[in-house]
Each structure stands twice: as C-alpha cells, then as structure tokens.
Amino acid sequence: MEASAAAHELVRPWRRATVVATLIAAVELVLLIVCAAVIVARPLAHAMQRRAVTQARKTVFSPPAPVRKALVQQKAAPAKPTHSRAQTKVLVLNGNGQTGVAHAEAVKLESLGYGIAGAADARRHDYATSLVMYRPGFRSEGMRLAHDLHLTVVGPLDGVSASTLQGGQLAVILGAR
C-alpha cells in the first residue's frame, strides 16, 4: 500500500505542473490575440474611415444621374406655370431629421399662397440638400416653387403614385441645407 501511495504522490506534481503550464500558455495566447487585433485593427479602422469620407464626398459633390439631368434641365428657360399657387398642392417632407421643420416649411408655403397636401417625415433622414420634385405636367410649377424657396435641385417624381403624394402635385424634401 505504501508503494501505491508513493507512486500516486509522484504523479500529482506532474499534473499540477501541466495545469499551470496550460494556464500560462492560454493567457499568453489571449494576450497575443489581443495585441494582433490592436495592431491590425488600427490601420484597418483608419482605412475604413478614409473610404467612408471619400464616399461621403462623392455623394455630396457628385449627384446621381437623374439629379444631374434635372440640374441641366433647370438651366433651360422654364415655361410659364399653368396653375396658380393656390391651385398647386405641395407635400412637404422632412428629410433631415430635425423635429418640426416640415410643419414650419408648410406654414411658410401657405403664406406664399400654396395649397398644402401634407407635412410628414420622409422615409430617410440623410438628405444633404433640399429638393423639389414634380408630377408629370407640373414642371413649371416645380420650377416656380424652387425659385420661391431659393432651391436649385428640381426633378421629376418617377414611380411615385398620386396616393403617396396625398393629392399633391409637387413635393419638397427638406435636406440638411
């Protein structure tokens, strides 16, 4: 019995040493992974930030093709509006996320003589600039509204149903500027 107890005592220090060595190796592995993540993540984060800034600048300074086309069309001499301001209904949409701007702009448009179809939030709140959009046949009225609001971006409403406009012929999306 003494021989088995002595043999058992010889095994225990070996097991303890193995457990301690394994724990030390695990801690070193975790530290290596953290260091590698820090070393790799910092340049990667900077690269992603530079790309995001580049994309944001492209978005702000390079409007999409339909807007560019609308800007080119705007430089042509606009036709005289066939509907008066009172006959023209405008839907005002808040595209910048600031509370109350759509309602305030609707009040301003009413004071200019426009009919208001409604004032609500746009689906997105990241519009960089304000713009006027018009239904087919209301281009000259859209140009007049843009002139009244001192806006430069005017374009057609493509693929938007009349029910979405709540009976309006024009829509104003208020952007950050």
Expressed as residue numbers, the domain containing 34 is: 1-62
115-143 pLDDT per residue, tens: 998 888 888 888 888 889 998 888 889 89
Q: Mark which of 30, 45, 62 sits at the end of a domain.
A: 62
What is the pLDDT, as a whole number, of residue 61?
A: 46
Instruction: Give mean pLDDT, residues 164-174.
Output: 86
pTM: 0.55
Domain of 79, CATH number, reads 3.30.70.2390
Three-class SS of residue 85? coil
Q: Mark which of 45, 62, 79 sits at the end of a domain.
A: 62
What is the pLDDT, as a whole number, of residue 60?
A: 46
Instruction: Give mean pLDDT, residues 57-76.
Output: 51
Give the number of domains in the chain: 2
Do 78 and 136 belong together in one domain?
yes
φ/ψ of 22, rounded to 5, equals -65, -45
Do 102 and 91 belong together in one domain?
yes
Confidence of residue 8 (pLDDT cuts 50, 70, 90): low
Whether 1 has a pLDDT exceeding 60, the answer reads: no
Helices (H) and strands (E) in the chain, counts: 4, 5
Beta strands in 63-169 (DSSP E): 89-94, 115-121, 131-134, 154-156
